Structures are given as structure tokens and as C-alpha cells.
Structure 1
């Protein structure tokens, strides 16, 4: 490798995924030791096996502390633009009792004292920073690491903080930050006011399992993409983002859900139920995926979706314990310009029960629909076939029909043969589904 051009060696070293291997390379030769300093990123992850060895009396004295290794990598690097440090995802396997906290700090990675040792040395050119903490050591003590980062990193573009308790007292504005991820974090910002005020340029925001929120409102003028997985049940959820294009929102039972997102195009919504949904300006919505305990109730509050082309529906209840149902008539009325309709097993079952009791006679036709995908649990073959026939009678432009039956379904062969004979103009695709597994194809059309 000593014969390679220096810039090529740096490129090779930059592609090393874990900086532990980079540290080992420095011991091989003076050339590698020197050129490794030019690598622009540090990525160090503590594995579960390393952690367990550090806790074992037989091996603990043989290991260099994780923080020492990390600090060594930082001190031997020049001009870093990306730093990633954390524990491996497998740490979630470690049992944790809320009444028994680990008072150690060897893997307390959002400890301000630890971060102060290295962040001021690299913050000048730093563009991306990710810290994934060890929850058992971090969850019981508040960290001001976010405040420290906001005071040091004037050029930061992307920030990820995971598995910790974050204080926002003294938080400074970070006008250059465009991408923020907070995951499994307790945040001392009940209404997200500090996030809105201090990160005004955010274009991408990911909030996954962020606790401590009561009446959270996202109010960001430049936001384009948002993933929000709400872990508790706040009274109010509001998103005011005039440039938001993509939203994936998972919540429980908010009393009120308010959306002011006029440019929203792709929307995934999963919730048990809501007392109120205010979303009157979804005039650019093209793709909608909705999961709910009460599809009929949520759809009844949903504004007209005349622009929606692709719709996916699923009931969060198990298919063998359906208590409520909804009719496809509401879809024909709300989404008259659909091109593609995808019904999960719970949604299909509810719609089929409604059809069995009331039929589709009063429903208007959906002339634009071209493709239907359904995941079925067949309880009564004749009812299922009659439902499919009625659906196709109302959707005369459908040319592509994909039906996935529950794995080992007794009705597969009969359903396939009867549908193919009765509707030869349709391109049929057949397969099986199983919860938690990939779909299996029987026939992929003709």
C-alpha cells in the first residue's frame, strides 16, 4: 500500500466502516499512521460483546476504555466533517429495571464532561454529528449536551441524538442545522417551542419515541420531510409546515390533530382514533396510507381527497376480532380520482362485512381506479367472490388486481379459478401473506 498515491490511500481508509479498524491501520506503518489523519470522518461503535468483556473480572483489565479509544481517534484526526459515536443496537437486549439504574459512566456518551473533551477540537468544520447513548446509564440524569453542541457547532448540518435525557435550558439558535433526529429521548421541551425557535432551518425532522411532550406543535417554515412517532398520548398534536412534502405520523389517541401542510404530497398516518382532525388544506396530497383502530371514524373526519391517486388502508385490529366496519362507499365519495387502492387484511375484512350486510348498491362508480391490491382472510368463499365481483362492477377501469391470501388458506385454488374465469379481462396476480414475513407469489400475472 506504500506504493499507492496518498490520495488513493486516504480514499480507501475513508471507506472503513468502523474506526476501530482505522486505529489498527495506524499501527501497520508510518505511512498509514500519517495518512489516516486525513480521513474526514470518525465512526466508532461499542459492541455488546465488548461491553460484556468490560464487565467481566477476567477481561476488564485487558481492554482499553471505549472513551479513551474514541478520544485517541479524535486527537489524531485533522479537519473532521463527520463524527459518529455510540453503542450497538444489540444493547437493547440488556434487561433493564426502572428501579435499578447503572451509575457507571463508561458508556454515558452524552455526558457533557466527556463531550467537552473532544467536541471543541473538531467543531469548526464539523457538518454531521451522531451520538447514540447507552440508555441504562443515561436515562436517569439530564444532559446539557444539546446546549453544548448548539454553542460550539456553528456549521453543523445534521445532528442525531439517541437514548438519552436532553435539557434545553440555555439552548442557542443553530441556523445552519437542516437535519435533526431525536430517537428514544426524554426532551425537556413540552411544546417543542425550543426546537422550533432554535432550529429554524430544519428541512428534515425525525422524532421517534420522544417523551416529555404535552401539547407539541411543530412550527417550521422550511420543513420538507417529517417522521414523528409519538410515544405518549398528548392532548394536542399540531404540524404547521407550509413546505412539508412527506409526513409519516404515528400516534395513539390525540384529542385533536391539526395539520397546516398545503404542499403535503405523501402522508402516512397511524393512530388508534382521534376526536378531531383539522386538515383542510391538503390540496396537493397524492399518496395516503392510513392505519387506525376506527377507519370509519377517521375517514369521516378526513377532508375530501380529490387529489389522492394512491390509497392504502389498514385496520389496527386483528382480523379475527373485527368489531367495527366501514363501507367502500366512503372511499368512492372522499377519493373519487384514485388510481391505486391497497387494502390490508383488517381493512378488507371490515369492508367485506359491510358489503355482506349492506351491499354496494348505493355506491357511485370509481371510474379512475386502475389497480387494486388486497390482503384477504377468507371466511366465506361465496361472500368474498361476490364482494370482488361487486367491487369490479363499480370500478370498470380496473385492469390489474392483486390478491394475497393468508398463508395456507383453504380457499386459494377455488378463488383463483373462479375469479380468472369470471373476469378474463383482468390481469390477476396471486400470492400469500403472513404477518411479519414477505409476501410469496403464486402467480405474477399474465
Structure 2
């Protein structure tokens, strides 16, 4: 069992363990010790726009240097950009300082292998073993002549912009398209608008003035109201929203209607099929049943992983498939990027629209979402009993499943971060979904 790493790195409230400068320095040292065993000694460090990123960056730099590992600093850039640059610079790892879509007072640290992929469980456990030594006995330091050196990569943003642009086919452009881009006052605030603008689009950029504290604040992929309003106000063709570290994508069509991760994943799979892709698609337990049904009509196999892009990636590895994602907007196209990348995913969607000469509004009609109701029910975790194991709860779920048959779906899962059970019901009728979800929630309560 991992002690410090969660499903997406290490995360917490700044100033509280583990998001302290002392812990970050020791984490850098522990990761550096692990990396040196693999025979490489440079790491690329990037961050989003949180004020605390500067503190944690300096602490990590000190820890890596003390372990004898060189550091390349690239400044504020999206998480997927760091994964890409780690590969480009032949670094042994990439480190991202970000808490993704969380508010500014949180921060986190994610690590990528030289391949651009997230670390394996075994690699994280190896780092944790060194981290325990540092926390209990001190981290030590190499001799002065072996200290790691630091350098700043000034053209990192430009390299990533060119990389993203390459995923729109050469014969295509975005000329004539008006796009509103919401960068969530986060890591993509410079690079994202530049990508679309340099490809010929007219770009209206919003939430692109980070001040260290306004990241994800009522904006970005988790708060789409201002993007919807801006698309209507400017008469734009579509809107693109990212979260704070730009690994999550949501879009808005010209009517102001949200196009979520499931719908975008369907469009990506559809164009891939037209290009000759013969594999399937991986979603999650929360993926809308409408996605599964729409893919089946195209003859595209579909599997569900546990919630979390980490588990989507694991199932893609197990199946050999190349496309997957979550309804929240974490989208993977492994033939184009090694990790979730909002800008590259949007390139795939825009390429699909160009290829089919369709608007985003028309393209989303290819998938009919099933009405879905989600209810959170709190429980007392101190009692130790598993609420999902209660016979009354299981009986309630069976009753609803029998009633729905193949025309709906029931999912109960416990939150990984708080004492909540999430009750999700999908049905062809919204009233049915609401009623059945409430029935099960009442039994849980």
C-alpha cells in the first residue's frame, strides 16, 4: 500500500503535511535517489500558476540537487507539456507541481517517467521507501562536486505550441472559426490561445490573467457558465475549457450547450475509426450508457475501468487499445500523446469536425446521452461497517436493476476522499432515473 501517493500523485492543502517545503525537498531527494539507480540524472520540473508553486519548485530543486540530479525548470506549463518535454529532453523524469482542478490553496506533485507515462506502483513504492528514510533519519547530501545543477528552459512553451499544432492535419486549418478559450487562469493561459490562433482561428481568450490565487475560481472545465455566456455574447462557433493544469477538456457548442467528456470521446473514436483504427474504447464506471450504445452502433468495443485516468490508462495497456477517457474530460489518445492532454484532445475533435464538415452542435447528435441522476449520501466511516454490504441496500439495487433491464444502469461507489456513497442511476426517462436513485439513497440513509 502506498503511504503518500494517491491515484494522481501527492496532493493536499499548502502548509499542511504533505504539502510543506520540507516534505517537497525530501520528496525531491527520494525521487532523485530512485532515478540515479536507473542511470540517468536530469529531471524536468513544471508547474501551474498557484502562488505556492514557486515555494514547492525551489524545495524540489534543492532535494534533487542534494541527491546529485540535474534540474531543468520550464515554468508554468500544462501537465501534459511536462510529460512531452521529459521525453524530448531525454530526462529521466518529469515533475508537475499542480493540484489540477482544485482551488488555489491546494497543491500537488505528480511525477512522470522518461516515457511520458505516469510512474508505476512499483516506482512510487521505491520513492516512498527512500522518502521514509529522509523523514525519519534525514536525507543527506552528495559532495559539492556531485551536486545537481539547475537550468531554465526559456523556449519550452514554444516547443509545446508547435507540438500541439502538429496534431491538426497539414491540409487543415482553423481559419474562419471563432473560438472562446477558457484557460482557468491556469497553466495553459499562454500556450492554449496561441495554438488555436496560430492555426488560423479568431480567438477570444478568457480567464487568462492568473494572479496565483484565481486558478479554477468559477472558471475552467469545472465551471462552464462564463464560457457558455462568452460563446453566446461573441457569436462564437464553439468554446474550449481546460482545468488548471490543462489535462482535462470540456467544450461548448454555438448554442451554449455543454459537450462533455463522453461526447468528446465518442467524436474522437468516430474519427479514429474513419482513419482505420481497429481497437476499442475504455471509459469508466461513470461513463454514460449512451456512449456505450453509440459506440456499439459503430462496431467499436467498449470496456469500463474504475474512475480515474490512471485506471483508464491501465486498461488501455491491458487491452492494447489506444483511446479512452472520462466524462469529466480526461481524454486519452495514445497515438498522439502519452497522457491526458486538453489541447491535443481538442485538436482531435476539431480535426473530426473539419473532416465531416460539421459544427460541434451537429456532431454531438451522434451520441444520445441517457438521463443520469447522481446523489451523494454521507455515512459514518468511524463505525467500520461497509454501507454497500448491507443486505437492504443490495436488495434495493437488485430491484431497480431488474426493473430497468437493458434500458438503464445502476452504480454505487464510495468516494475515495470523503465518507460518501455516490448513487448513480441511468434510465431512458429522467423521472425514472431520479426516482430510482432517490429510492436507493433513502435505503442507504
- Relative to the length of structure 1, the TM-score reads 0.26
Higher helix share: 2
Which structure has more RCO (C-alpha within 8 Å, separation ≥ 6)? Answer: 2
- Relative to the length of structure 2, the TM-score reads 0.26
Higher strand share: 1
